[in-house]
Chain A
C-alpha cells in the first residue's frame, strides 16, 4: 500500500475515531451510564462537535483525564480500526499514519495556536500512545494469517487430489501431440493422452 496507504490510514485515523467517540458519548448519555461510573464529558460540557472532540482526544485539558474517558478513547480507536481494517492492513501504514497525525497536531498547536513546545512529551502524545496499541491489536487480529483452503481440508482429513491444488498456467500443451488446451482436462481431446499423469506429475516433480 505504501504512501497511499499511509495517507489513507491517516485520513481515516483523524476522522473516524472522533465520530465514533461522539457516538459513544451520545449512547452513554442516553443510557445514563454515569450511574455506573461511566462518564464521558466532552471538553467542559461544550456541545458535541467533532472538532471539539478532536481537541479533546488530544487530552489537552487535564480535567478530562478520567478512566472512563480513557476507555471511551480506546473504544473509539478500536472500533475505528475494526471498521477501516479492510483498507488498512499493514502495521507500518498504521504507524506511519500516527506519525502524520502527531505531526499534524504539532503543526496545529505550535504553528497555528503558537503553543510553545516545552515538554518532552506534549500531552497530545497520549492519544497516539493509546491509539497505537488499540489499533494494532485490531489490525493484528484482522490480518492474522488465515488457513488456506487446503490446510483446512487436511486438518479435517478430507481427501483431495493434490495435483489439482497446484496453480497452472494456461494453455496446457499435450506432451504427446502438442495440442494446446485452454483448460485443465484429464484427457487431450486430440490424442486422448492422460494429461493428469503427464502434466501434473511433471509439475509436482519440478516443484520437488
Chain B
C-alpha cells in the first residue's frame, strides 16, 4: 500500500439477509483493502464468505435479492448504484468450477470474450489478451479446445479470462477445490505470479492454507457473518485457537511450532512458520542447540501389526487383472490386481486420470471389465443386481447434489430403506440414527437443496448410512468442507470401520488420508504404483514424486528432521510426540 493511497475496496456497515431468512448472513462488516494487496479470506463452511464476495462483485443485489444494509464501494463506485456490466469491469470473479464460467469452445475465444463484449478497440483487446496470457502462463494452451484441458489448465484459463477485464479487484473463490494436487499446484503457482503481474487487489478464498499463506499480505477470518480477526499470516496462524474454535485447521507448520513452544521444547520467541520448510528449519535449529538428545525406541505408532492382521480376514473385494477401455479408446485401468479385506480402511490416491473413479465404478458394478474380473463378496460385481449391490455397498458422491432428490431431509434418508422393503419401525430407527450421526437434528423437514453445501453433504452421507452397507465408498468426501466438518466426517467413517464396515476413501486430501486410512493405494495412469500401510507409503517421498504427489505437510516436516531419528509421522500429534520423546536430557 502506498502512502495516501485510497482503498480500492471499502465496505461500510454491511449487513445482508436473504429474502425469507430470519437471520442476517452478513453482520455489520467494515473493511478497507488496497491495490496490490493479496488477501486470504478464511472461515468455516456457511460463515458467509461467498455471500460477502457476491456483495463485492454485484451479484448481490443485482441478481440475488435480499435485505441489504450498508455500502460496498469498489474503486470509489457504489456497487448498488451501477449496473452489473459496469461492476464486471471493476471486479473479476473466478469460481470453484471453471466450466460454469466458460462460454466458448476455444481458449483464445474465452480469454477475449469479456473485452470483446465491452466493445473495446481491437488493439486494446489484443493488449489485454497478451497481458492475461502472460500473467497466467497459458501460452501453450492457446491452440487447444477448452474441454480437452485438465482441471488445472481450465482454471488458469478462467483466471486469464477474468484478468483480461483488467479488474481492480480479482476474487478467487476456492479455485483449487475441485483439482487434483498437480492441478492445484499449477493454479497456485499462477496465483503467486499474479502479485507481480497486476495491481489488482486479490482476494483468495482457499482451504489449502499451507500452500497460499506465504503469498498473503493479510488474512481475514470470518465467522457467522462477521470478520472476527485480521492480520498478517504469521499473526493469525500464531493464534491457532481462534481457528480451531471455528473448525479451521491452521497450517501444520505453524501448529507444530506452537505446540512445541507450549511444551517448552521451543522458546517463546521462536518465529511462526507458514510452510513445512520453514517449520523444519526452525525446529532443526533449536534441536541442534538443545541439550543432548536421546533417540527414543519404538514409538507406539511405528509398527505395522494392525496392517498385517488383516491378512487373515475374508476378502470382500477381489480384482483380477482388471483392464478397462472406454469407447473413446482411453485405457483407464491396465491390469489391476487387488484384494481388499473385511474391515480395512483403504485410501486410494492419485492424480486426476489415474483411474480412481473407473476403479470405483467397477467395484460398484456399474462398468463391465474389458478384461479381468471384479468380485464383491465372491460374486461378479457387473452381474449383481442394483438391489443386491445397494445392500452391500454404499457410495457417497463427490457432489452431494447428485444424490438429493426428495423434498425433505427425512424423506431423503428414508428413501433407501423404504425401497428395500424394510418395516416402518426399522426405517424410523435407521433414519433417526443416521440423522444423529450426521448432526442433522432439527433439519428433518427442511428441503435438502435449501441447505449449505456442507449440510447437503451430510444429508447425502446419512442417506447412505441408513442402508447400513458393509462396504462404504467415499469419493472425495471432504471437498468443499472445512477441516472441522471433514475431520468429523472421517471420524464417523472410522467409527463405522471399527464396527466392521470396510471403508474405501478416494481423496486428494493427504492429511486426512494419513490420519484415518490404514492402507494407502497409489494409482498412476491406470496401474498401482505402491500399496501398503499408510505410514510406509508416505515415507516413500521419492516414489510419490513419480506421480506428482507429496506426503502430508506434517510428514514433510518430519522427513526433514530424519537426521535426528524422527520416524515417519502422519499427524501433528505424532510429530510432537516424536520430538518430545527425542528431547530428553541424558542422565549425568
* A contacts, CB < 8 Å to B: 148-150, 153, 158, 160-161, 163-168, 170-172, 180-187, 189-190, 192
State the CA gap A186–B371 with chains docked (Å).
20
- Assess A170 versus B339: contact at CB under 8 Å? Given A186-B527, A186-B528: yes
B527: A residues at CB distance < 8 A: 161, 164, 186
- Among B323, B336, B542, residue most surrounded by chain A Cβ atoms (within 10 Å): B323
- Assess A161 versus B530: contact at CB under 8 Å? Given A149-B323, A182-B339: no
Min distance, Cβ A150 to any Cβ of chain B, angstroms? 7
B532: A residues at CB distance < 8 A: 181, 185, 189-190
B337 on the A face (CB < 8 A): yes
Would you call B536 and A185 a contact (CB within 8 A)?
no
The listed residue (B336, B522, B524) touching A184 by CB distance below 8 A is B336
Would you call A158 and B337 a contact (CB within 8 A)?
no
Would you call A170 and B337 a contact (CB within 8 A)?
yes
Would you call B337 and A184 a contact (CB within 8 A)?
yes
A158: B residues at CB distance < 8 A: 329, 331
How many pairs, one residue from A and one from B, have CB atoms within 8 Å of each other in the complex? 82
B329: A residues at CB distance < 8 A: 158
B325 on the A face (CB < 8 A): yes
B335: A residues at CB distance < 8 A: 161, 163-165, 184
Which residues of B507-550 have CB atoms within 8 Å of chain A's CB atoms?
A: 521-522, 524, 527-533, 536-537, 540, 542-543
B370 on the A face (CB < 8 A): yes
Q: Which 10 A-B pairs have the closest CB atoms?
A: A189-B532, A164-B335, A149-B371, A182-B339, A184-B337, A183-B338, A185-B528, A185-B531, A183-B531, A189-B536
The listed residue (B311, B370, B529) touching A185 by CB distance below 8 A is B529
B336: A residues at CB distance < 8 A: 183-184
B192 on the A face (CB < 8 A): no
Would you call A189 and B540 a contact (CB within 8 A)?
yes
Which residues of B83-98 have CB atoms within 8 Å of chain A's CB atoms?
A: none
A184: B residues at CB distance < 8 A: 335-338, 528
Known A-B contacts: A158-B331, A160-B334, A183-B338. Give 11 more (CB < 8 A): A149-B371, A161-B334, A161-B527, A164-B334, A181-B531, A181-B532, A182-B531, A184-B336, A185-B528, A186-B530, A190-B532
Min distance, Cβ B336 to any Cβ of chain A, angstroms? 7
- Assess A187 versus B371: contact at CB under 8 Å? Given A168-B337, A170-B337, A182-B338: no
A170: B residues at CB distance < 8 A: 337, 339
Min distance, Cβ A50 to any Cβ of chain B, angstroms? 31
Min distance, Cβ A151 to any Cβ of chain B, angstroms? 11
- Among A149, A172, A189, A190, residue most surrounded by chain B Cβ atoms (within 10 Å): A189
Q: Residue-by-residue, is B299-335 near A (CB-CB < 8 Å gives 1, otherwise 0)?
A: 0000000000001000000001101010001010011
Cβ-closest chain A residue relative to B323:
A149
B334: A residues at CB distance < 8 A: 160-161, 164
18 residue pairs of the A-B complex, CB under 8 angstroms, read: A149-B323, A149-B371, A161-B335, A164-B323, A164-B334, A165-B323, A165-B335, A170-B337, A180-B311, A181-B532, A182-B338, A183-B337, A184-B336, A184-B338, A186-B529, A187-B540, A189-B531, A189-B533
Min distance, Cβ B324 to any Cβ of chain A, angstroms? 10
Would you call B531 and A167 a contact (CB within 8 A)?
no
B321: A residues at CB distance < 8 A: 164-168
B339: A residues at CB distance < 8 A: 170-171, 182-183
A149: B residues at CB distance < 8 A: 323, 325, 370-371
